[in-house]
Structure 1
Amino acid sequence: MALALFDLDNTLLDGDSDYEWGNFLVSKKLVDADEYEKANTYFYEQYKQGTLDIVEFSAFSFKPLSLISREELNNLHQEFMQTYILPRIKPQTPTVLNKHKNQGDTLVIITATNSFITRPIATHLGIEHLIATEPKIIDGKYTTEIEGIPCFQEGKVTRLNDWLKMNNDSMEGSYFYSDSINDLPLLEIVDTPIVVDPDERLREVGTKREWEITSFK
């Protein structure tokens, strides 16, 4: 039994759940369309270039969570799942997940996107374990701050090591599937790095290092 780690956005999904959540909020007229679309695109381009300031982005992306009740947020997420997420699950995603489940591996989604957005997606995919960026909660309400270390770039390695200690698990035989150059620190420490529908920079690195490059589309 081994650890099978999966990035979520643009790896298991054909798209970015954080970015699509922003589009969903715009479609529901819950945020100012022009302002939000501009900022959402700005941060997403930074992410793709590997230059995202995760603290600045989180303050932006958590703000709607802090202004809407938890009950309404949960109702909104159900609609978001049906209309934005389920159509974006890549065709090969269930096959790969089932392969690892049948091998008895421990499946973990490890993602920079916050847990409010990603927990229901992990549940739908049948993955119990989620390591995600956590919004700080005070008096039962989301804030615009991050709780602990963001699950991004080198932070993914730190958060994973904390998870391994907590669960008395190890990296022996581990896999990690990702599309993004942002995940290079974690790809470099697993036993089997697998590059999935990669961005240009990760494809170049994966090719040079002779990592497996595949597509879930």
Structure 2
Amino acid sequence: MTPPAAGSRSAAFFDLDKTIIARSSTLAFSKPFFHGGLLTRRAVLRSAYANFMFAVSGADHDQLEKMRAYLTEMVAGWDVETVRQVVSETLHTIIDPLVFDEAVRLIEDHQAAGRDVVIVSASGTEVVEPIGAMLGVDHVIATTLVETQGKYTGEVDFYAYGPHKATAMQKLAEELGYDLAASYAYSDSETDAPMLEAVGHPFAVNPDKTLRALSTANEWPILVFDRPVALRSRIGLDTPAGKAAAMAVIASTAGAIVVSFITRRRRHSAPSVRL
């Protein structure tokens, strides 16, 4: 099959955590992983504390790197099949209440306009791919960990974070013929500045302090997403056919468990747009 000519179409790239959903997707699974025998109670409490701190005050690059190192070390030796099973059994319960209605409507609008939609997330493929499938997006860029003999080694195969997101977007654009100058990107975090700068139409969503300042300086639109909606009912997964399709996708998804490092700071008073 001959690939499309470069720049023949556009795409819309969405960060996941705090852009499509209202919190960290990976840390949200702390309790299910505990009940599945993967996490200790102390690790659950630490993950919950980290999630709280990201929500109320944000974290700088060094803090995020320390948390990444801690969590990748923690998952070393985890059984891949157990992780897959825990995610498949708890995905709807964990993620359904977290999805922003505004994000789903934007995804639908871009698809109606003929654009591919791509989720670009530092979270692991085992979380991002099922969410992407349920949302009906075209492609997913996510973090993966190395596995050997059915267990995670604790090493990172690809870290979809910071400038690595932009690099992966550029690679995908070359493969599929996206015109990045005509494309869109959405994120909440200063660490995703390279992702936003890679496209012609960047948008800040519920931005942290630094991204808000950057958006104001560059005249990037600022969007406010504040209406979480049950994903299952929003996209028809409460029907028998929808449930069957979702479970088939989740059951076939293999991936790795990694931390999502999306910063969040208190909002300042720059003008915002509600959808």
- Common fold by TM > 0.5: yes
User: Structure 2 CA distance, aligned partners of 1:207 and 1:126?
Assistant: 32
Distance in structure 2 (CA, Å) of the matches to 1:180 and 1:205: 11
Are the counterparts in 2 of residues 17 and 117 from structure 1 also a CA contact under 8 Å? yes
Q: Does 2:130 correspond to 1:120?
A: yes
Structure 1 ranges of 4+ moved more than 6 A:
none
Would the aligned equivalents of 1:12 and 1:90 in 2 still touch at CA under 8 Å? yes
TM superposition shift of 1:162? 2.3
How many residue pairs get aligned? The number is: 216
Call closer, same or farther: CA 1:81–1:146 in 2, change over 3 Å: same
- Paired residue for 1:110? 120
1:24 corresponds in structure 2 to: 32
The higher-RCO structure (CA 8 Å, 6+ apart) is: 2
Give SS of 2:179's match: coil
The aligned residue for residue 211 of structure 1 is 220
Matched-pair contact (CA < 8 Å) for 1:23–1:37: no
- 5+ residue gaps, structure 2: 1-8, 227-275
What TM-score, normalized to structure 1? 0.86
Structure 2 equivalent of residue 159 of structure 1: 168
1:101, CA displacement in angstroms? 0.4
Deviation at 1:164, TM superposition (A): 2.3
Q: Is the 8 A contact 1:58 1:145 kept in 2?
A: no
Once residues 141 and 210 of structure 1 are traced to their aligned partners in structure 2, the CA distance between those partners, rounded to angstroms, is 46
Q: Select between 26-35 and 56-65 the one with higher mean Cα deviation.
A: 56-65
Task: Kindly indicate whether residue 202 of structure 2 is the aligned counterpart of residue 193 of structure 1.
Answer: yes
**Contact kept? 1:4, 1:106, Cα under 8 Å:** yes
| Mapping 1:1-217, distance limit 5 Å | 1-26=9-34, 30-38=38-46, 41-42=49-50, 45=53, 48-52=58-62, 57-62=67-72, 66-148=76-158, 150-217=159-226
Report the Cα distance in structure 2 between the residues aligned to 1:57 and 1:44, rounded to whole angstroms: 13
Q: SS of the residue aligned with 2:140?
A: strand
Q: CA RMSD in A?
A: 2.6
d(CA) in 2 for partners of 1:139 and 1:120? 23
2:272 aligned partner:
none
Alpha-carbon deviations, 1:126-167, whole Å to 9, x = none? Answer: 11300111111223433211114x111111112222222333
State how far apart, in whole Å, the 2-side matches of 1:209 and 1:102 are: 28
Percent of residue pairs identical: 26
Larger Rg: 2
* Alpha-carbon distance, 1:74 to partner: 2.2
Residues 98-142 of structure 1, C-alpha deviations (whole Å, 9 max, x = no match): 100000001100111111221111111111300111111223433
Gaps of 5+ in 1: none
- How far, CA to CA, are the matches of 1:208 and 1:106 in structure 2? 29
- Pick closer, same or farther for the CA change 1:76–1:35 going to 2, 3 Å: closer
Corresponding letter in the other structure for 2:195: L
